[in-house]
Amino acid sequence: MSRNFLSQLTGSFAMPARENPTVAMIEAAYQHHGLDWRYINCEVHPDDLANAVLGARAMGWAGFNCSLPHKVAVIKHLDGLGESAKVIGAVNCAVRRDGTYIGENTDGKGFLQSLLTKINPSGKSAVIFGAGGAARACAVEMALSGLSSILVVNRDPYRGQELVDLINKATMTKAQYISWMGDYSIPDDVDIVVNATSIGLFPAVTARVAINVESLRSSLVVADIIPNPPRTRFVKEATARGCQVIDGLGMLVNQGVISIKYWTGFDVDPAVMRKTVEDIFGV
């Protein structure tokens, strides 16, 4: 009888890599669904990125995630970009298609997927805190799915305005930059509030997103993208105000689900992946 001992390979290139729980989450899905696939978490120095991608090509990997600091640098080593990755200008997931590697951005798509459990952003107004890579991914995906307007609240005016200009140029959404000074009050006509800064990430768990908490109305959908800890101070404040709240595990899990779909073609169960990361973060 002929047996197949050749597993399909996927993985991640990042530095540092040891604290990234994605490998546990993805392998849990592979095992749960009986898929003979592997996910290898690799620490790759920026100087070695080109060789790492060549290695993946040589070994026939079905694809790989890229995390910091490779999300932009990897683009020149790939053969093309998906639509939103092109607009965002960053790739967190390379996918082999017909022998070529195409860069996708599943961060924003994962965020959108978790947002859709509470609200469809089409025709709605949002406030996003932050203008870094993650904010860019979340804002662009909301804009591409028909968001009406977005206020980008950021400390650094250059980064804030850069994201605003990108959204106004590449999408139909109306974007405006707001300088972040003191506690920001959420305007009355806003539907969605997103913390896409790194405020609250372990170990700085007591750090606060500078907002006027009283301005969080119960009709708001409030999302935090910090995965560790999932119950950030911001999540707790929004929950206490009666808002509909989405934590950072939603984005983490859903970007994984979408990456697996790209690589394997299978729809995997997000609950298995969420349980794995909840156990890791002690939720």
Q: Which residues are catalytic?
A: 71
Compute the radius of gyration of the chain from its Cα atoms: 19
Classify 210 as helix, strand or coil.
coil
Q: Where are the beta strands (DSSP E) in 146-203?
A: 149-154, 174-179, 192-195
Residue 32: C-alpha distances to residues 29, 203, 261 (Å) = 5, 31, 15
Q: What is the closest distance, in whole angstroms, from the C-beta atom of residue 226 to ligand NDP in the complex?
A: 6
DSSP line for 111-163? HHHHHTTT---TT-EEEEE--SHHHHHHHHHHHHTT--EEEEEESSHHHHHHH
The candidate with the shortest Cα–Cα distance to 135, out of 180, 79, 181, is 180
Residues that bind ligand NDP (CB under 6 A): 107, 130-135, 154-156, 159, 197-199, 201, 225-227, 248, 251-252, 255
Nearer to ligand NDP, 58 or 85 (CB): 85
Tokens 């070529």, residue located:
100
Nearer to ligand NDP, 34 or 282 (CB): 282
CB of residue 199 to ligand NDP, shortest distance in Å: 5
DSSP β-ladder status, 93-97 and 63-66: antiparallel
Cβ contact 197:163 at 8 Å: no
Instruction: Tell the smallest beta-carbon distance from residue 131 to ligand NDP (Å).
Output: 4
Q: Which two tokens stand for residue 75?
A: 């683009």
- Rounded distance between C-alpha atoms, residue 6 and residue 12, angstroms: 19
Q: Which residues of 184-195 are buried (b: 16+ CB within 10 A; e: fewer)?
A: bebeeebbbbbb
Nearer to ligand NDP, 172 or 202 (CB): 202
Least Å from the CB of residue 130 to ligand NDP: 4
What's the min distance (Å) between Cβ of 132 and ligand NDP?
A: 2
